[in-house]
Amino acid sequence: MTYEELLAKNEQLVKENADLKAEKDEIEKELNELEKEYDDLCDENETMSNDMYHQEEAIANHTTNEDYLKIIEKMTKINHEIGLLTEEFKWIKVPENDN
């Protein structure tokens, strides 16, 4: 190869190298954008998962609280009835056994 041919080949390789570097930079830029989007989606997913967990927990607690309130209401009614019966039985005189 002559000096001119080597010089031309070198210029061609320098141009190809610059084109490949530009392409590499563009790919790295797209990759960084995709990684950021992925991280954002992971964060959003974690936030939604936490929100769903807290909502499920709140629903479970709400249901449990309603059940407790129903039980307390029933117990209050039963205690009230026991109190009424106790008052009623206080007035009943039991005949004494003459034996």
Q: Do residues 1 and 9 lie in contact, with contact meaning Cβ atoms separated by under 8 Å? A: yes
Is the per-residue pLDDT at 38 higher than 90? yes
Question: What letter would DSSP give residue 50?
Answer: H
One DSSP character per residue, 70-98 reads: HHHHHHHHHHHHHHHHHHHHHTPPPPPP-
> pTM above the 0.75 mark?
no
Residue in this structure with the two tokens 């209050």, named with its chain if needed:
76
More confident residue, 66 or 98: 66
**Cα-based distances in Å from 19 to 5, 34, 85:** 21, 23, 98
